[in-house]
Structure 1
Amino acid sequence: MRLDQFLVQHKKIESRTKAQDLIAQGLVQFKNKVLTKSSFDVTEDMFSEITITENNLSQFVSRAGFKLSGALDYVKQQVAGLTVLDVGQSTGGFTDALLQRQAKHVTGLDVGSVQLHEKIKSDTRVTYFENLNVKDIASHSLANERFDGVVCDVSFISLTKVVTFLEPLLKPQGFFLFLVKPQFECGPQALDKNGIVSDAKVYDAIQVNITSLCEQLFQCECKYFESSITGKDGNKEFFIYGRKK
């Protein structure tokens, strides 16, 4: 039996997605050894010795909240009292992390719909726009807004095709913190059979490309660093951070 299935069936974890989050967080152990793969084969004789470390996994509506929280800590960026734009809002993990750090207001947008967690929807500090592509902002009411900060977590598109639409929305001296997903920055030829980027040279090339673009657009020096949590597919992820001139 797969480890994620075991957690659902025998440890009363509500879903396989939640189980996979626990595993990714390093919170599942067998005989005090951390189990890191959702596909790990659990045999019946192991059942009683698999444990879950109590933690605050329910602190955020999705694991993305942990990613952003870790990144904010790393760059020592405060968000209390600030207005922030969340691009690629999805379930609302980034938004949740911002709100818990006392952001004044978070405006979110996503190309999808019916994804945002009810906890986020019902918060009066949140405005959200569904079925809105960042490329269409110029003709949207958001085009007139300016934010103290912009965060971004998008998939199936290169970040390089997104950031040019975000720069006008950021106030001078405002911060940006964008999640970089290498598997969407390189061609399919750079991925192995499991969809993983394994060549360090590819990571380096992506860093140079994105850093160069952001430093040119926002006229600032950027920090580029690895996310404290990998993507669900096992790919390394990174953040790029800076403050607009």
Structure 2
Amino acid sequence: MRLDQYIAAIYHCSRQKANDMIKQHCVLVNNQRISKPAYRITQDDIIVLTKEVFIANTLYCSRGAFKLQRFLENTLCKGQIIKRDNQTQSYTHTKDSMQEEITAIKQHIHALIARHVLLDVGASSGGFTQVLLAKGARFVIAQDIGSLQLDKNLRKNKKVFSLENLDIRDFSNHQRFWLESLLLDSLRRESKVSCALKLSRFQSLQSVYWIHKKSCPNILDSILHNNKAEQHYTTKPFRMLTCDVSFVSLSKILHSLRSFSNHLLLLFKPQFEVGLYAKRNKKGVVTDIKAIEQSLLSILRLLEDCNVKLIYIEKSQVKGREGNEEFFIFCQF
């Protein structure tokens, strides 16, 4: 029997997911890592999955979860701080001092996730959402332009709200409408709400600044109009947003993303940034290094034009499905 077939059958996952796990060296056969999905096994073989494929004791729901998990847990000095406090960096730092700065940035990202309301743009099946919850997010709004893609376990999770068939640019233009609808829907589904979006200070944009525990069933007025509540609001709705989109350039949606949060964690995918005429191999992997660099620089210039305070870039330890090298960009405004 093929190894990928066995994994798919035993763990009730797709053959594609089984292939991904094997190619990421996350499957052990008789204590040896196997990287070939077609590897033949017998009934006497002992097959074990490494702990990397489990997020909060649940099998990861997409390749995106792999990417974000490894980014957040990577403490090695593999990234680059492009800009900090409005000054472009040209480092003469020692390796140790650079390591300290990168570690501090990673710790800051963890702090932005824990106990906060987050937006996951381009959620798809929910890989990023799954990791954010595992890292302590209080509530995640999973937005996607498609439908019926979110993992069934995440769909049932009370800490997740799925916004489907919605372009992030439309969400940006109609935040108040969508956030009110989200809250009303939550209230209809449960007579008592243990966690509800706390909205504050209606202006041109609605501000959601935390999830606040409530036990009273009739809390709509107090949530929408209670100005005596603690004023922890921000002009941006979410503490942080993550973005993993396909078939659209980050440059096309960056303005909309900035309206949601001052902290963005973006995944730069060269295959959707370089244009149609950049050189690719038969598998669709972009081989035009110059085009990739120019596209990445273009995104960085857009961020600088927006008065960004911090830009940190790190190559994803997990490549795209076809083999493209991707990059995480964390920026703070």
TM (normalized to structure 2)? 0.63
Task: Compare 148-157 and 21-30 and name the one that shifted more.
Answer: 21-30
Secondary structure of the structure 2 residue equivalent to 1:214: helix
Shift of 1:99: 0.8
Shift of 1:212: 1.7
Where does 1:11-160 land on structure 2 (aligned, <5 Å)? 14-28=13-27, 34-36=33-35, 38=37, 42=39, 52-59=48-55, 60-74=60-74, 75-76=106-107, 77-78=109-110, 79-137=113-171, 138-140=173-175, 141-142=177-178, 144-145=206-207, 146-160=237-251
Cα offsets for 1:128-178 (capped at 9, x unmatched): 2110001212034355241110100100111111111110111xxx32101
Structure 2 CA distance for partners of 1:99 and 1:53, relative to 1, 3 Å: closer
Shift of 1:118: 2.1
Task: Compare 148-157 and 47-56 and name the one that shifted more.
Answer: 47-56
Among 246, 255, 260, the residue aligned to 1:164: 255
Q: Cα RMSD (Å) of the superposition?
A: 2.7
Among 257, 281, 287, the residue aligned to 1:198: 287
- Say whether the 8 Å CA contact 1:28–1:50 is kept in structure 2: no
Cα offsets for 1:196-237 (capped at 9, x unmatched): 012332332222111221232252231111112111111111
Q: Distance in 1 between matches of 2:34 and 2:294?
A: 32
- 2:272 equivalent in structure 1: 184
| Matched length | 236
Shift of 1:120: 1.3
Structure 2 CA distance for partners of 1:67 and 1:194, relative to 1, 3 Å: same
Shift of 1:6: 6.6
- 1:175 equivalent in structure 2: 263
Structure 2 CA distance for partners of 1:222 and 1:32, relative to 1, 3 Å: same
- 1:239 equivalent in structure 2: 328
Secondary structure of the structure 2 residue equivalent to 1:210: helix
- 2:314 equivalent in structure 1: 225
TM (normalized to structure 1)? 0.83
Secondary structure of the structure 1 residue equivalent to 2:298: helix
Shift of 1:92: 1.1
- Say whether the 8 Å CA contact 1:13–1:19 is kept in structure 2: no
Gaps of 5+ in 2: 75-105, 179-204, 208-236
Q: Distance in 2 between matches of 1:88 and 1:164?
A: 15
Higher radius of gyration, 1 or 2:
2
Shift of 1:52: 4.8
Gaps of 5+ in 1: none
